């Protein structure tokens, strides 16, 4: 058995056998962290995706009074919360392909969130500083997801 990546759940650290079966080790779990050897590794993907959803929700609340942008506010709220929801669901996969699918959806939703941010910037509803702050967080999330997807696809191709 080997760890292809760290997927932290509310109850365990998930690893996969070479044939893609899940293994949950309940003894190595601390909320929000995975215990690897003698040190703990924070689940940055889960942390960043939650931060994105919360930050965008706060941004949307500040934009609610502006006339004519209710659809954009609705769409960016939906896409950013979908990033967090899919990353969270990927922590409880039924299989390795299921985890991969959820992460790929999260990556697409992250790109959509960036697109809505760009539209808000272009329409002068947010500052460039606000745009860059959220865009950079989206970029970090996408990089982690892309790396995880490559690792999972490599493992799936070996079996």
Kindly give the confidence (pLDDT) of every residue in the chain, 159 residues in length, as a single tens digit, with 9 standing for 90 and above.
Answer: 334 444 434 334 455 555 555 555 544 433 344 444 444 578 999 999 999 999 999 999 999 888 889 999 999 999 999 999 999 999 999 999 999 999 999 999 999 999 999 999 999 999 999 999 999 999 999 999 999 999 999 999 987
d(CA 113, CA 91): 21
| Spatial contact of 142 and 111, defined as CB atoms under 8 Å apart | yes
Give the other-Cβ count within 10 Å of 147's Cβ.
Answer: 12
* Domains present along the chain, CATH in parentheses: 41-158 (1.20.1440.60)
For the chain, give the DSSP string: -EEEEEEE-SS-EEEE-TTS-EEEEGGGEETTEEEETTEEEE-HHHHHHHHHHHHHHHHHHHHTTSTT-HHHHHHHHHHHHHHHHHHHHTTS-SSHHHHHHHHHHHHHHHHHHHHHHHHHHHTTSS-HHHHHHHHHHHHHHHHHHHHHHHHHHHHHHH-
What's the pTM? 0.75
């Amino acid at each position: 058995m080997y760890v292809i990546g760290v997927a932290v759940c509310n109850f365990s650290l998930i690893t996969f056998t070479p044939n893609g079966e899940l293994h949950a080790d309940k003894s190595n779990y601390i909320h929000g962290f995975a215990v690897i050897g003698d040190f703990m590794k924070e689940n940055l993907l889960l942390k960043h995706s939650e931060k994105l959803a919360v930050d965008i929700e706060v941004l949307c609340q500040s934009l609610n009074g502006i006339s004519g942008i209710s659809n954009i506010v609705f769409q960016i709220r939906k896409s950013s919360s979908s990033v967090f929801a899919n990353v969270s669901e990927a922590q409880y996969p039924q299989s390795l392909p299921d985890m991969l699918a959820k992460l790929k959806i999260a990556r697409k939703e992250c790109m959509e969130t960036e697109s809505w941010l760009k539209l808000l910037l272009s329409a002068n509803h947010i500052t460039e500083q606000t745009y860059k702050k959220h865009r950079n967080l989206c970029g970090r999330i996408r990089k982690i997801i892309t790396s995880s997807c490559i690792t999972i696809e490599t493992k799936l191709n070996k079996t």
